[in-house]
Amino acid sequence: MTQPSLPRPSIAIVGYGSQGRAHALNLRDSGFDVTVGLRPGGPTEAKAKADGFSVKSPAEAVKSADLVAVLTPDMVQKKLYDEVLAPNLKQGACLLFAHGLNVHFGMISPRDDLDVVLVAPKGPGALVRREYEIGRGVPCIYAIHQDRSGKAKDLALSYADGLGGARANLIETTFKEETETDLFGEQAVLCGGASSLVQAGFEVLVEAGYQPEIAYYEVLHELKLIVDLFYEGGITRMLEFVSETAQYGDYVSGPRVIDAATKERMREVLKDIQDGTFTKNWVAEYEAGLPNYKKYKQADLEHPIEVVGKQLRAKMVWLDNSPKEQKEAA
């Protein structure tokens, strides 16, 4: 629960997706006064009301709130801030983000009277909620962009504590560090890097004449086993649980695939993130109606590994193939 020495602001949560719902529920259970701001008639309004929250339009929800948490997708935040939040936030309120992209790259320029902070749990919303309910918490990182009241850090810590983050670990960062490392991790390793590595491995095996089903199991299906070991105890734990043959292959072949040239291309990705090239291109793509985004996504969905994978997963009765759960976990 929140420490008595920390402030206990009234909170408006704007957005009620996976993270928004978890934040709202955890904060309410921690004793905060929480209102949810949603577009009337939108898809999540009924869900928030069923959870027992007072639901208002975003403009109405933020008018009396001491702290406003913006938990909507990145690409709608600028319009939301300019047209709804900035005209209605009360003087001296605190504006909170869970990702710093819009502020760090100047798409949102917060009013000068506001405290502006970031609190980001390091886990999907379902995990943030589940860990809180069993008396634990998910680590959170936090940052301060503007401290007009002199209490911005306390407000960020109070919010993180209300999520359950103080039960686990709280790490201070900056908007710059959170934004740039988050984007790099997604692009070079977690999403772009991992999916491209899996697709390339599948293609190499199939082109060499191996069965697609066998290739799928070896380069995608079994990846979960390794990632789970990474998650539980890092590379050390992975090495404890794989065979000596696998370890030796790791040592001699890993650096042949991920070599100095790969690392240099990673630096190029990071440079594009740091100098704003990626964000500029992403904003332009979004404003153009996502033509390339849609093309790239369709290519991934039609890749042969997805075709064979769908057939194989249909026989894996232990899997929960609910699209909602998959999206939440992501």
- Backbone phi and psi for residue 290, each to the nearest 5 degrees, phi listed first: 65, 40
What residue ranges of the chain have pLDDT lower than 70? 1-4, 321-330
Position 122, amino acid: K
Of 223, 208, 246, 231, the C-alpha closest to 309 is 223
16 in a known ligand binding site: yes
Among residues 70, 60, 58, the alpha carbon closest in space to that of 114 is found at 70
pLDDT digits (tens, 9 = 90+) for 47-83: 999 999 999 999 999 999 999 999 999 999 999 999 9
Closest CA to 100 of 84, 120, 80: 120
Which residues does the annotation mark as catalytic?
99
- Retrieve residue 12's tokens: 């408006």
Domain assignments of the chain as residue spans, ordered by start = 11-174, 190-258+290-319
Cβ proximity of 200 and 305 under 8 Å: no
211 is known to lie in a ligand binding site: no
Is 245 annotated as a binding-site member? no
36: CB partners within 8 A, 6+ apart: 12, 13, 14, 16, 20, 24, 48, 53, 54, 55, 56, 61
69 three-state secondary structure: strand
CA separation for the pair 223, 56 (Å, rounded): 44
The structure tokens 């491209």 sit at: 196
165 is in an annotated binding site: no
The pLDDT score that the predictor gives to residue 4 is 52
Task: Supply the pLDDT for residue 1.
Answer: 43
Q: Is 17 annotated as a binding residue?
A: yes
Which pLDDT does position 2 carry in this prediction? 44
SS3 call for 138: coil
DSSP letter, residue 90: P
259 is in an annotated binding site: no
- Amino acid letter, 43: P
Is 222 assigned a ligand-binding role in the annotation? yes
Is 125 flagged in the annotation as binding? yes
pTM of the model: 0.92
CATH of domain 11-174: 3.40.50.720
Measured in whole angstroms, the distance separating CA 120 from the mean position of its chain's CA atoms is: 8
